[in-house]
């Protein structure tokens, strides 16, 4: 284990281990906590890693506690890594309006260019580079990587895959923000982090990036049709339109009656784990 890594907690789980660690991130300029689920197969060999990016207000804990993913991950032999959703700390600037949809708990997985955000809000760099480097140097894992997430983290997962060809073997999302360019959450966050000039925003917009994708990883998306954010914020039809225009392999499943909660994620996480396992093994 690297000298900088401090263990926060350890739980035996499904024959493997759920562990939380704290480390000092040079990318983000603050201490960060992340969680790892190590399946039983990690005791005897190297296993691939699925990165999970959570949504607004979440930490590393929500997915590990509520998604019910560890049972099948233990069977399939997949390590799961959950980072936090933003830089943290008293010295890290927060939402000037003190709302929950920006700042702490809401980093939007982009690399900020504007002050006062640019020093700390570099979550894309963190989740695609610094964290995988740390994971692969520390744990018995391979460099086969999948990425998935929910809502703001669904946007993050798709953007990470599309911006980094060759870095991920699989990608999926639950109820992703399809286009931060086209919704209030995205307009607020990118307006702060990237500035008022919207021309640069398309580099962080799933619907825009799909249209110029050079690598076409099959993208599985589940979306509840009773999700209260469906119409105003998530707008999955923008993903569908972009994928159809670009010939991108998108499977978007509208799930009748399901909302934006972890009950929705738990109901379909096994399908996503199988989607990733097929590419990661």
Catalytic residues: 151, 227, 260
* By CB under 8 A, residue 266 contacts a copy of itself: yes
Within 237-256, the residues that bind a copy of itself by CB under 8 A are 255-256
Q: Minimum distance from CB of 38 to a copy of itself (Å)?
A: 12
Q: Where are the alpha helices (DSSP H) in the chain?
A: 61-66, 70-76, 123-125, 131-138, 152-163, 184-194, 206-210, 236-246, 262-280
Least distance to a copy of itself, CB of residue 270, Å = 8
Structure tokens at 236: 């999955």
Rounded CA gap, 14 and 17, in Å? Answer: 8
Q: Which residues within the stretch 220-239 sit at the binding site for a copy of itself (CB under 8 A)?
A: 224, 226
Distance separating alpha carbons of residues 281 and 236, to the nearest angstrom: 29
Give the contact letters, 45-74, x = binds to a copy of itself (CB under 8 A), - = no. --------------------xx-x-xx---
Minimum Å distance from CB 125 to a copy of itself? 31
Closest approach of Cβ 20 to a copy of itself, in Å?
12
59/179 with CB nearer a copy of itself = 59
User: What are the structure tokens assigned to 156, written together?
Assistant: 């993050």
Q: Which of 6, 7, 15, 24 binds a copy of itself (CB under 8 A)?
A: 15
Cα distance from N-terminal residue to C-terminal residue, the chain: 25
Per rule CB under 8 A, is residue 211 in the interface with a copy of itself? Answer: no
Three-state DSSP state, 243: helix
Q: Nearer to a copy of itself by C-beta: 67 or 127? A: 67
Closest CA to 229 of 144, 113, 150: 150
Phi, psi at residue 137, to the nearest 5°?
-85, -15
Q: Are 66 and 266 in contact (CB under 8 A)?
A: yes
List of residues contacting a copy of itself (CB under 8 A): 11-15, 18, 65-66, 68, 70-71, 224, 226, 255-259, 261-264, 266-267, 270
């Amino acid at each position: 284990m690297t000298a900088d890594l401090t263990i926060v907690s350890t739980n035996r789980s499904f024959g493997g281990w759920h562990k939380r660690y704290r480390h000092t991130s040079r990318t983000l300029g603050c201490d960060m906590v992340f969680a790892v689920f190590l399946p039983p197969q990690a005791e005897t060999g190297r296993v691939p890693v699925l990165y999970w990016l959570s949504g607004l207000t979440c930490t590393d804990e929500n997915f590990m506690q509520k998604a019910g993913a560890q049972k099948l991950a233990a069977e399939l032999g997949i390590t799961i890594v959950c980072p936090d959703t933003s830089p943290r700390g008293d010295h890290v600037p927060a939402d000037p309006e003190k709302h929950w949809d920006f700042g702490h708990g809401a980093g939007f997985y982009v690399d900020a260019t504007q002050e006062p955000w640019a020093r700390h809000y570099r979550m894309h760099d963190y989740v695609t580079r610094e964290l995988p480097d740390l994971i692969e140097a520390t744990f018995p894992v391979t460099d086969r990587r999948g990425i998935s997430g929910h809502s703001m983290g669904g946007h993050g997962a798709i953007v990470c895959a599309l911006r980094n060809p060759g870095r991920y073997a699989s990608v999926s999302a639950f109820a992703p923000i399809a286009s931060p360019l086209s919704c209030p959450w995205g307009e607020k966050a990118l307006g702060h982090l990237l500035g008022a000039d919207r021309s640069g925003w398309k580099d962080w917009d799933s619907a825009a990036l799909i249209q110029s994708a050079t690598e076409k990883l099959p993208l599985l998306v589940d979306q509840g049709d009773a999700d209260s954010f469906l119409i105003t914020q998530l707008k999955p039809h923008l993903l569908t339109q972009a994928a159809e225009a670009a010939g991108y392999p998108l499977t978007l499943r509208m799930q009748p009656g399901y909302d934006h909660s972890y009950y929705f994620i738990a109901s379909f996480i096994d399908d996503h784990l199988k989607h990733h396992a097929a590419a990661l093994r």
